[in-house]
Amino acid sequence: MRGFTNNVILATTYLLWAALPQPAVAGETATALCLRPREVSLGIHYHGRVVHAEGTAPAGDKLALVCAGRREDLRLKKKEKVLGLLWLNRGEVHFASVPSLYLLDTSDELSRLASPEALNRLGVGCPALEAAAVGARPPDQQSHRLFAELLKLKQREKLFAVSAHGVLLQERPEGVEHWSADLRLPTKLAPGDYEVRLFGFQQGQGKLLARQALEVRQVGAAAAIHSFARKQGLLYGIGAVLIALAAGVLTGFVFGLGSKGGH
């Protein structure tokens, strides 16, 4: 009986020990990617949000942190000036696989992380976005110019942003380095599922180290309005027109009173 009790105690002790976090073995490095917060709420008072990212990576790695949204195909109107006076629509421009959001923070200049070919394979940097957007078409001056215009548009809306030295590194004696970065989500952020990816680079070679999901959800009145617009599009459109007309009449009435009082 005593032997059975001792065996039970030993087995219980082993299970408790196995459940505890184990120290890293010499030569091994752990990679971690933590987001705070992991969920972002879009309410009527949302005007952008900062998501703090931090973790560990192998010592000596140069890092790139990418926050990207769902990829989609874009068809945009191409405008050209006619007779040097008027801007008119002259056809469409098609871009494939353009992310709805692309935020890139790095610990060093992109040119010092890896070669353009290596960066393109990992989807890191604006040239990689252009290569994916242009697709199988041979690159030419016109497609490059049109993508540059798209890039400017996305940057003005703060949906595309690149920050060199946005990832801060602090090496530790355990053979790993601690890193941190702040992802600045724009005001025009759309609800959906986003992904944050951490890439490590050594001697010009890069690889994916970790990834983490970031959820963006509409809440409160904003969610109710969005749901109503999606399910009752006709009524939503009629209501929007009526509200605009009422606002116009009210504005005219107020300014009309002001102009009468001035005389």
Domain of 89: which CATH number?
A: 2.60.40.1930
Are residues 135 and 82 both part of a single domain? yes
Confidence check: pLDDT of 194 > 70: yes
Are residues 249 and 129 both part of a single domain? no
Q: How confident is the model at residue 235 (pLDDT cuts 50, 70, 90)?
A: low
Are residues 148 and 44 both part of a single domain? yes
The answer to whether 45 and 221 are in contact (CB under 8 A) is: no
Are residues 122 and 243 both part of a single domain? no
Confidence check: pLDDT of 236 > 80: no
Structure tokens at 208: 């994916």
By CB atoms closer than 10 A (0-12, 13-18, 19+), residue 87 is: exposed
Confidence check: pLDDT of 161 > 90: yes
Structural domain that includes position 227: 219-253
Whether 9 maps to a domain, the answer reads: no
Percent of the chain with pLDDT over 90: 49
Are residues 227 and 206 both part of a single domain? no
Q: How confident is the model at residue 186 (pLDDT cuts 50, 70, 90)?
A: very high
pTM, two decimal places = 0.72
Pairing of strands 168-171, 176-185: antiparallel
Are residues 117 and 231 both part of a single domain? no
Are residues 56 and 159 both part of a single domain? yes
Are residues 145 and 226 both part of a single domain? no
Q: How many domains does the chain have?
A: 2
Can you tell me whether residue 143 is helix, strand or coil? Answer: helix
Are residues 75 and 188 both part of a single domain? yes
Whether 11 maps to a domain, the answer reads: no
Range name among 94-108, 127-141, 171-185, 244-258 with the lowest pLDDT average: 244-258
Pairing of strands 49-58, 176-185: antiparallel
Whether 205 maps to a domain, the answer reads: yes
pLDDT digits (tens, 9 = 90+) for 121-152: 999 999 999 988 886 555 567 788 889 989 99
- The phi and psi torsions of 226 (rounded to 5 degrees) equal -65, -45
Are residues 52 and 143 both part of a single domain? yes
Are residues 56 and 133 both part of a single domain? yes
Mean pLDDT (whole number) for 79-95: 67
Structure tokens at 116: 């353009």
Whether 5 maps to a domain, the answer reads: no
Whether 12 maps to a domain, the answer reads: no
Whether 2 maps to a domain, the answer reads: no
Helix (H) / strand (E) element for 235: namely helix 233-262
Whether 170 maps to a domain, the answer reads: yes
Whether 48 maps to a domain, the answer reads: yes
Residue, of 95 and 92, whose pLDDT is higher: 95
The answer to whether 63 and 199 are in contact (CB under 8 A) is: yes
Are residues 196 and 239 both part of a single domain? no
